[in-house]
Amino acid sequence: MSLFKPLQDLPKEERKTIEGKSEHVHCLIIGSGPAGYTAAIYTARANLNPVMYEGLQPGGQLTTTTEVENFPGYPEGITGPVLMEDLKKQAQRFGTDIRWGVATDVDFSKRPFTVIIDEKTSITADAVIIATGATAKYLGLESEKKFMGSGVSACATCDGFFYRGQDVAVVGGGDTACEEALYLAGLAKKVYMIVRKNYLRASQIMQERVLSAPNIEVLFGHRTREVVGSQSVEGVILLNSRDEEVRIDVQGFFVAIGHQPNSDFAKKFLETDEVGYIKTVPGTSKTNIPGVFACGDVQDKTYRQAVTAAGSGCMAAIDTERFLAENK
């Protein structure tokens, strides 16, 4: 049997017998970043017996960063992995059943909803909270991977502070890259923007801000060949439009070429924008399917912070609790 056959096309019996496993849960949480864990803490404390599937990267994007200094409550800062471990323990303390597994397919056409885990385990749920986050896009260079967390970052708000008074580079020419460059310009000595075309894709106002910032230099028509350094980033080798190598000396290399929300597995039922961000009713976590809620970066292309994700996880939990109370 093809596991990629749309679930709604399968007869009921067949759905239940995928790998012979089937289970019903009251509240299913998919994804385990700050949004998912916060939703778990709240739903567990509300006696909704949440079951969480952690996803491909348990703990989410923060587990790839080092120091987190802007999550309220940690005056000395905390590392991303420890913060996530603490959130997980807090969710478990109230009884969240946390499991390893990735949601690969769903059927939201009727209640209870069906979610397939790892293409083989079928779970039905009265309510589903989607907190699968987004994945920052990287250039895909070996050298970029090597310095991840020691000079290479995809989040200026998270890591910019470590480059105060130093020189940094931002790759990309969209609104995110401009925002990152402007944020970094307030901290770093000099910011290079590496833009592969000879124009910026960002909105006019962002372009004007970037181009008038005294310490931002936009390198149009440049591509990144390699990030160089010994223990951490020391520079970047670029190729200009004539394919000549140019080296810039920087200590931080910020990649801002876009994010990909992790919503593919649910897209055939949920309304998303053109990029794939799940649409929610403004001011709530409600999706177009009553009983399916979305929180964190999978539905947020604007703020993308751990604390905003956690806040929206709380909203999803409260929306779920009310939905389940009204739909017993």
Give the residue numbers marked as catalytic. 155, 158-159
What x-and-dash track marks residues 215-254 binding ligand NDP by CB under 6 A? ----------------------------------------
Please report how the helices 306-326 and 34-45 are oriented relative to each other, as an axis angle in degrees rounded to 10: 40
C-alpha–C-alpha distance, residues 207 and 296, integer Å = 28
Of 147, 170, 155, residue with least CA distance to 234: 147
Give 196 or 268: the residue with its C-beta nearer to ligand NDP: 196
Give 96 or 176: the residue with its C-beta nearer to ligand NDP: 176
* Furthest-apart CA atoms within the chain: distance in Å: 67
Give 151 or 261: the residue with its C-beta nearer to ligand NDP: 261
CB-count exposure of residue 157 (10 Å: 0-12, 13-18, 19+) = middle
C-alpha–C-alpha distance, residues 185 and 293, integer Å = 37
Query: Is 179 one of the binding residues for ligand NDP (CB under 6 A)?
Result: yes
What x-and-dash track marks residues 297-316 binding ligand NDP by CB under 6 A? ----x---------------
Of 43, 42, 40, residue with least CA distance to 59: 40
Query: Is 144 one of the binding residues for ligand NDP (CB under 6 A)?
Result: no
Q: How many CB atoms lie within 10 A of CB 20?
A: 9
- Which residues between 152 and 171 bind ligand NDP (CB under 6 A)? 171
Q: How many residues bind ligand NDP (CB under 6 A)?
A: 15
Which residues face 103 on adjacent strands? 117
Phi-psi region of 276 (alpha: psi -120 to 50; beta: other; left: phi over 0): left
Q: How far is the CB of 73 from ligand NDP (least distance, A)?
A: 27
Query: Is 174 one of the binding residues for ligand NDP (CB under 6 A)?
Result: yes
Q: How far is the CB of 60 from ligand NDP (least distance, A)?
A: 18
Q: How far is the CB of 9 from ligand NDP (least distance, A)?
A: 34
Query: Is 112 one of the binding residues for ligand NDP (CB under 6 A)?
Result: no
Of 99, 81, 96, 119, residue with least CA distance to 37: 96
Q: How far is the CB of 165 from ligand NDP (least distance, A)?
A: 26
- The residue of the chain with the least Cβ separation from ligand NDP equals 174
Give 49 or 70: the residue with its C-beta nearer to ligand NDP: 70
Q: How far is the CB of 275 from ligand NDP (least distance, A)?
A: 7
**Which one among 21, 99, 197, 322 touches ligand NDP, defined by CB under 6 A?**
197
The residues of the shown chain that bind ligand NDP, judged by CB under 6 A, are 139, 171-177, 179, 196-197, 201, 257-258, 301
